[in-house]
Chain A
Amino acid sequence: MASSLPTLPRVLPSSSSKPSSPFVKFISPTLKTTTSTSLIPSSISLSSRRTSSIIPRATASSSSEVSNSLAKTTFHGLCFVLKDNIDTDQIIPADKATIFPSNQQERDEIGSNALSGLPDSHKPRFVEPGEIKSKYSIIIAGENFGCGSSREHAPVCLGAAGVKAVVAQTYARIFFRNSVATGEVFPLESEVRVCDECTTGDTVTIELRDSGGLLSNHTTGKQYKLKAIGDAGPVIDAGGIFAYARKMGMIPSPSVA
């Protein structure tokens, strides 16, 4: 029966601090959006096959994790440095894709396997044997980070291992999209080849601004500008694709009691 099927916990970056509210304000699907950025699409009518106009959220408590505006977000921790073309099988070996992170136990399991696909010669390991989480909360990478599969296990395992943000030179598009959609890690882009100037274990801080961000390496004393998050910004800001769609009136939210 349906009740035996696993449900997924909602996970968003822990930097949020907004008070919880069980209900999201109802936005009529016919309202045209008024934001100024041209990239916000106008809402279009829902499929005629929909039988009910109000579809309740499965878990009311998930709205307690609405993220802050990007401008107030800061990450701080040790960084783990990788080079170019780190593909999804190195991030999470394909045989681990049977793990279905629907509960904390499987989430721990997938997190403990994060980046276990890196060659054995790569030291130090991202997650120490026997550990569940990594001591590195920020990943710094080169070009084409996350190339390969569309499996969300890639950003999910990083988030489960405790990664808050990735600063890469460039991303493979499906990985970038999945990071934004799941809210597991913030995918940020550097303007220069930061992976050549940082070393695994350096202490770094990332401060996000509306117009981009700043990566500060406290171990080397250097700072680097980060590119503005771009089109993904409003989706991340809203709290993921579902929250964004509700905000835009694409899918309804439960009305206030």
Chain B
Amino acid sequence: MAPQRSSSTTGSVKTGMTMTEKILSKAAEKSQVVPGDNIWVNVDVLMTHDVCGPGAFGIFKREFGEKAKVWDPEKIVVIPDHYIFTTDKRANRNVDIMREHCREQNIKYFYDITDLGDFRANPDYKGVCHVALAQEGHCRPGEVLLGTDSHTCTAGAFGQFATGIGNTDAGFVLGTGKILLKVPPTMRFILDGEMPSYLQAKDLILQIIGEISVAGATYKTMEFSGTTIESLTMEERMTLCNMVVEAGGKNGVIPADATTFNYVENRTSVPFEPVYSDGNASFVADYRFDVSKLEPVVAKPHSPDNRALARECKDVKIDRVYIGSCTGGKTEDFMAAAKLFHAAGKQVKVPTFLVPATQKVWMDVYALPVPGAGGKTCAQIFEEAGCDTPTNPSCGACLGGPADTYARLNEPQVCVSTTNRNFPGRMGHKEGQIYLASPYTAAASALTGHVTDPREFLQ
């Protein structure tokens, strides 16, 4: 058999492509791309929020003119979420600025908030952008979604290319609907085996980041597949892809399947076309995990790759627990925490802060019965366990925020959190110590006042 020649010499041989390569080549109107190619890509959705939106629109006007119009007012989604429930004037100003831009440009999707005293008085307000994007049907297989936030990679759970960009790139996209991208090579992570009842997607991604380090996937795609992945719900898949950026990854992808189609088709009527990696596609790395053998893990201060088994940290005394954010503040995250609290039947030993990601999550926490809890809702179970009342939906204290942000770490305390980063000062105080964990682990830790493996309460 003749030796294989690379496609650049033969010109006509089509090499197998990964999912990401396929999505990008289609978006660049090319029949083929290889990692390393710099291509202009058509953007399907651009998301921005209150912190970066003003900057992005400012740059758009500076470069395209005061009277310029955005490339497509229906493909831009503006979601105030970062610094909302605060008296910080600048933070409030940013939401007002976005309102002006959206009015002027006729932006179709602006999830506005005007009454900061009662989030429920704002029918359009959603909350955390990455969760809102999914809930509002803006995530679709095969598309290109960009956002002015590092955790935009969350949407890769839907089998699309999704990554975070800065204000300047966003300003460019606003005017042209295109972006210059370098095609990333793909690292494949195959997760097989039955998911233990005490394990969650957060444990899986912390396991992986601990394996490859915070720069292990820099400039690369992380593609997740395998029987375990297929068994995950959409929200769990979102948690997995959410922290791809913590490994340095450019984007994360999970092949779309019936679970994806069910979720998406219930939320949007925009047609989409899923793509899948070819059998002969090239991957730069292959990792395999037998999930049935994994144990709950945490990321110790001060790095998301500082992995340790939760049970080996049981002597670590903690001061508080935080359950919230795009990573761990979705409906299923609260359901999981409630399930553990209910199974334990005890009271928390430390202040336990609950920050639903969106209005919808907040409503679910108050309305949906927790399976196996005799009809009780999450809210009821949380109250009985002595947790703080679920607060206004937003990004909250995940990234510290203005001084008056609810649950901000204002003292050098130890916090177990379902959030995504634990670098020094992340939640506020520079000497604060943050242990990243799953909702199960966070709930278990709240009950003992120490970092705790959820198997203490779940079986």
Contacts and interface: CB of A to CB of B under 8 A. Distances in A.
Contacts of B169: 177-178, 181, 241
Interface in B43-84: 51-52, 54-55, 57-59, 61-69, 71-72, 82-83
B168 A173 contact: no
Contact of A49 (B55, B72, B83, B219): B72
B68 to A, nearest CB: 6
Contacts of B402: 95, 98
B401 A44 contact: no
Contacts of A5: 54, 57-58, 61, 97, 100-101
B176 A46 contact: yes
A198 B267 CA distance: 55
A143 B403 CA distance: 31
A251 interface: yes
Given A57-B65, A117-B430, A173-B248, A47 B176 contact: yes
B426 A250 contact: no
Contacts of A59: 62
Give chain A's interface residue range (CB within 8 Å of chain B).
35 or more
Given A89-B425, A173-B250, A98 B65 contact: no
Interface stretch (B177-185, B377-385, B440-448): B177-185
A245 B172 contact: yes
B214 interface: yes
Given A51-B69, A144-B214, A245-B176, A94 B401 contact: yes
Interface residues of B, number: 73
A71 interface: no
Interface in B395-442: 399-403, 421, 423-426, 428, 430-431
A46 B90 CA distance: 36
A220 B54 CA distance: 45
A39 interface: yes
Given A7-B61, A89-B423, A241-B169, A95 B215 contact: no
Nearest to B68: A55
Interface string B25-55: 0001100000001111000000000011011
Interface stretch (A124-132, A147-155, A203-211): A147-155
B242 interface: no
B90 A144 contact: no
Interface string A1-15: 111111110100000
Given A7-B61, A8-B58, A98-B402, 15 more contacts: A1-B100, A3-B66, A5-B54, A85-B423, A90-B423, A100-B94, A102-B54, A147-B214, A148-B421, A170-B215, A170-B218, A174-B150, A241-B180, A242-B172, A250-B176
